[in-house]
Structure 1
Amino acid sequence: MINRLQIQELQDLVGKETLQRLAAIIQFIPNSGISHPNDIYEKQNLERIFLSFAGQDAFQKEEFRKKIISRLSDEEIRSLAQKLGLSDLLPFSDLVNLISHKAWTDNSETKILIDFLRLPESYIPSARTVIPNIETVKRPESPYKSLKDYQNEIFRKVEGNLENPLQKILIQMPTGSGKTRTAMEIICAEMNKNPGKSVIWIANSEELCEQAVECFRDVWSHIGTFDADIIRAWGPNDVKYPINSSFLVAGFAKLHSAFKRNPELAKVISNNLHLLIIDEAHQVMAPTYKEVVTKLREDNFSIHMLGLTATPGRGNLDNEETRELIGFFSGNRIDIESGNQTVFQYLRHKKILAHIKKDPLYTNMVFELTPAEKKYLKSHYDFSMEFLERISLDDMRNLEIIKKLKKECELRKKILFFAGSVNQSKFICAILNFMGYRAEHLDGSTKRDRRRNIITEFKSGDLNIICNFGVLTTGFDAPKIDVVFIGRPTMSVVLYSQMVGRGLRGPAIGGKESCKLIDVIDNIEAYNSPDNVYEYFGEYWEENV
């Protein structure tokens, strides 16, 4: 039914700037269906572009649905009314108002309307999921998977340390080696030894928080010796203090704001705590995060503190931050013993980690940093959002990325694309959809239910491409990823390891033998390319493809 819209209406809905950007590059994409820039202004192509670039957002708005429905014929609207259980005897205008006013949610009426208007199934809104603030862990329904030998060695060392008072321990395990699973075994063992006491797990993203909940639920259901509560304290859930023995999972930001509003809350929570876990421990060096940890420990200094990290503290390659982080944990760092091999060789040999095959995309483009961007890089050890936004708008660079992505799509690969900006992620995602490859976009503003639905589809195999910005670097496990495509430059070892880590899971833990890593390598003035970051991870790779 989109064909009822006029050419000018379609152009206005897509936007002049988007059409100009498309006209400049799409003719150079092999087999895109567009051979000349002016072809995109043909009505049939405009309809496809609208559905790919703007349709999903447009149909969320009642006024737009009303515009489309009002262009149905009298026979069509009465047929639709019957399907929706409305009286087909009502006047045409009343039916238009009633149908367009219906809630655009995951319900049978929306599905009928989407089917009737011949819209893509992906337009169906995600079902709203209510996540409980508190839940009780029940008995297991699946077999228990014991720790691997190297995880068990970490467990044994940490448990030995925890027999002493006031322990602060930093656990370092490479991305993909099972930090969360190992930590959860420690947590459950300590809760069993200390009934009535609670544990708090602090992380900086919803994905990491939910991952912790799922892992605790699985482990505790098998080895827990009493009923324990899980308390969620992130997103819409308030911070609740434990009444029973509990596993409290909280977002740093949520705790910080809650403690500011109610300074006594930290004291109430800490009174019953035995363990404090900091996921992605390098975050604790930020002043607000350190403040949260300090508040929890100032009235109960006997709380043991564990930090989890893959690359301790290294926002850049300077060791100062690493030393500070290890110092924060009293110099007590525990990591994997790998004998004469490197840790990566050891874990690959055990098929814990996949073989990473590098396939760099050299753009041969030179980008000059402004004085402000240089200043930001010098003080923050990474590129500013302004710089990332600027290079992400370079459509000659985007063209090379799209061509490379298209080749992987043609091979039906499962791809996770890390963009340099929200704009770039949306733009590239829309072009992939225009070319017939189903892709979805995620960023920090994506609604929680939609984000969860997209990730579920990706994990199940119903969706093969996710384009994202600012999310999915942590707390996201999709075992069968074929390609990690990094489209943003970074000088941060931590961020880079998190992105690469999404493809590291090996066959011994449900992943793949190998994963392709595609890096977009730019020539950034005065810094050449961030090769020093990539070379830092030389042990991750074995060969180029």
Structure 2
Amino acid sequence: MIDRFQIRELQELVGNDLLARLKIILPYVPNSGLDHPNDIYEREYLVKIFLSFSGQDILSKREFREQILCHISEKEIKYLADTLGINSKLDFKNLISKISGMEWGNNENSKKFLQFFKLPIDFLPSPKKELSNIESLNKPYVPFKILKDFQIRIFEKSMKKIENPVQRFIIQMPTGSGKTRTAMEIIAFQLNMNPGKSIMWIANSEELCEQAVECFKDVWSHIGNFDVDVIRAWGSNDLVIPTRSSFIVGGFSKLNSTFKKKRELAEKIRDDLVIVVIDEAHQVIAPTYKRVVETILESNYKSHLIGLTATPGRSDILCSETKDLTDFFSGEKIEIDSGEKTVFEYLRDKKVLSNIEKDPLITDIYYKLSEEDKKYIENYFDYPPGLLKKISQDDARNLEIIKKLKYECELNKKVIFFAGSIDQSKFICALLNFMEFGAEHVDGSTGKDRRRYIIEKFKQGQLNVICNFGVLTTGFDAPKTDVVFIARPTMSIVLYSQMVGRGLRGSAIGGTNTCKLIDVIDNIEKYGSPDRVYDYFEQYWGTNE
């Protein structure tokens, strides 16, 4: 029924700026169906553009629901009112007010509203999933799941260190090699050895926190000796004091704000902690994160500190920060013993890591840097946000990206797309939907229920592409990813490794034998060569035989 809107209304809904942009790019987009640029002003295309570019939240706005209702007849609105259980004898104006004012959510009336207007069910808000503050886990009654041989050796080395008092060390394992699972085995073993005690796991995102909970629950269900509690301390869940053996999972930001207000909580919890684990440990030397860890460990002469990382430093060139990180963990590191092979060769041979098939997209587009850009790069060793925004708004570049994505989608590949900005992620996602490929967008502002829903759709094969900016680099596990598409230029080895890592899981751990890596390679003045970042990861790639 959106097609009942006047053309002028549809143009206003889409927006003149977007229409001007699409008028240039859409005629060159494969599958667009446009014979002439001005075709986008026809009702058919305006409706399609609106549905593709409007976003999932458009119907959550009462004003828009009112606008739709104004375009149906009195007979139709009375029928809709009866369907929704609203008194259809009210006059037209009151019916619009009553129907548009109903609660919009994942409920039957909202579904009926969408069905009446023949709109996709995806316009509904995502189902909410409440995570309890405390969850009790019963001791297991299922067979033991063993670690892989290289994970067992990491486990044994860690146990040996923990035999000594107050140890600090890092476990470094490449992305995709099961460092979280290995760490959970250590944690579960230590809890079994210390009944009544607790272990704290700290991470910097909700995804990483919940991933840790799920992994612990799985491992404890196989090797736990008694009932324990899982305590969630992130998002809306507050930190609580354990009453028995517990696995406490906390977000850095939540713990920081909690300890500022109630430092006594740290004092009450720390005495019963046997291990504190820092996920993505290279971030721990940031002042806020470091303060949280030091508060937990202050005057604590019992707890061991374990860091987990795939990359041992925050960057290859931030030498002082890498040294600070090393010092923080007493210079102790445990890593995979791969013999004469590199660790990546070793893990590829075991099919733990997939082979990477490199397929660079070379744009040959030249970007000149301003003096401010150069200064930012010198200070922060990565490209400034303004430059990333400029590059991501380049529609000549975006056109090449969309052509490449079309090719992969037609092969029914499952693609994770890393954009250079939120706007680019939304724009590419909308173009894919316009071309009738399944795509969704997520960023840091996407609600946790919506994000969880989109990721689950991707895992179940209901999406071709999941587009994102600033998220999905960690705490996201979709082993069947076929293609990692990086359209975000970066000089950060840590960030780059996190993006590439989403496609590294091999067939031995439920992933794929080969994952394609598509890098968009630009010619950026002075800093355009990707060799510094890519050469650092040369061992990841291996051969594509």
Global fold match (TM > 0.5): yes
- Percentage of matched positions with identical amino acids: 60
Aligned to 1:294: 294
Q: Distance in 2 between matches of 1:377 and 1:233?
A: 36
Letter in 1 for 2:297: R
Letter in 1 for 2:248: L
Q: Distance in 1 between matches of 2:30 and 2:141?
A: 50
The alpha carbon displacement at 1:281 in A equals 0.4
The alpha carbon displacement at 1:82 in A equals 2.4
| Residues 68-467 of structure 1: pairs in structure 2 closer than 5 A | 68-140=68-140, 144-467=144-467
Letter in 1 for 2:508: A
The alpha carbon displacement at 1:139 in A equals 4.7
Identify if the C-alpha distance between structure 1 residues 530 and 482 changes in structure 2 by more than 3 Å, giving closer, same or farther.
Answer: same
| Residues 462-481 of structure 1: pairs in structure 2 closer than 5 A | 462-481=462-481
2:503 is paired with a residue whose SS is: coil
Q: Distance in 2 between matches of 1:362 and 1:435?
A: 23
The answer to whether the 8 A contact 1:317-1:493 is kept is: no
Letter in 1 for 2:335: D
Q: Distance in 1 between matches of 2:73 and 2:4?
A: 11
Q: Distance in 1 between matches of 2:206 and 2:144?
A: 26
1:59 is paired with a residue whose SS is: helix
The answer to whether the 8 A contact 1:316-1:381 is kept is: no
The answer to whether the 8 A contact 2:140-2:225 is kept is: no
Higher deviation after alignment, 89-98 or 426-435: 89-98
The answer to whether the 8 A contact 1:478-1:502 is kept is: yes
The answer to whether the 8 A contact 2:417-2:467 is kept is: yes
The alpha carbon displacement at 1:412 in A equals 1.1
2:516 is paired with a residue whose SS is: strand
The answer to whether the 8 A contact 1:317-1:533 is kept is: no
The answer to whether the 8 A contact 2:473-2:502 is kept is: yes
Letter in 2 for 1:100: S
Segments of structure 2 that go 5 or more residues without pairing to the other structure are: none
2:441 is paired with a residue whose SS is: strand
Q: Deviations over 1:396-450 (max 9, x none)?
A: 1111111111111111110100001101000110111011112100000001111
1:512 is paired with a residue whose SS is: coil
Higher deviation after alignment, 295-304 or 489-498: 295-304
1:225 is paired with a residue whose SS is: coil
Say how many residue pairs are matched: 545
2:284 is paired with a residue whose SS is: helix
Segments of structure 1 that go 5 or more residues without pairing to the other structure are: none
Letter in 2 for 1:341: K
The alpha carbon displacement at 1:63 in A equals 1.2
Q: Deviations over 1:426-475 (max 9, x none)?
A: 01101110111121000000011111110111111122210000110001
Q: Distance in 2 between matches of 1:142 and 1:12?
A: 60
Identify if the C-alpha distance between structure 1 residues 281 and 10 changes in structure 2 by more than 3 Å, giving closer, same or farther.
Answer: same
TM-score normalised by structure 2 residue count: 0.97
Q: Deviations over 1:254-288 (max 9, x none)?
A: 11111112222222221221100000000011111
Q: Distance in 2 between matches of 1:277 and 1:330?
A: 15
The alpha carbon displacement at 1:128 in A equals 1.3
Higher deviation after alignment, 511-520 or 311-320: 311-320
Q: Distance in 1 between matches of 2:401 and 2:73?
A: 44
The alpha carbon displacement at 1:143 in A equals 5.3
Q: Deviations over 1:374-401 (max 9, x none)?
A: 2222222212222211211111111111
Letter in 2 for 1:61: K
Q: Deviations over 1:171-206 (max 9, x none)?
A: 000000000000000001111111111111111111
Higher deviation after alignment, 290-299 or 85-94: 85-94
1:357 is paired with a residue whose SS is: strand
Letter in 1 for 2:115: D
The alpha carbon displacement at 1:301 in A equals 3.2
The alpha carbon displacement at 1:324 in A equals 2.7
The alpha carbon displacement at 1:87 in A equals 3.3
Aligned to 2:493: 493
Letter in 2 for 1:422: I
Letter in 1 for 2:249: V
The answer to whether the 8 A contact 2:203-2:250 is kept is: yes
The answer to whether the 8 A contact 2:200-2:249 is kept is: yes
The alpha carbon displacement at 1:141 in A equals 7.6
Q: Distance in 1 between matches of 2:340 and 2:360?
A: 30
Q: Distance in 2 between matches of 1:224 and 1:145?
A: 12
The answer to whether the 8 A contact 1:27-1:34 is kept is: yes
Higher deviation after alignment, 435-444 or 143-152: 143-152
1:186 is paired with a residue whose SS is: helix
Q: Distance in 2 between matches of 1:143 and 1:424?
A: 47
Letter in 2 for 1:182: T
Identify if the C-alpha distance between structure 1 residues 472 and 358 changes in structure 2 by more than 3 Å, giving closer, same or farther.
Answer: same
Letter in 2 for 1:137: L
Higher deviation after alignment, 194-203 or 95-104: 95-104
Letter in 1 for 2:217: R
The answer to whether the 8 A contact 1:212-1:249 is kept is: yes
The answer to whether the 8 A contact 1:176-1:352 is kept is: yes
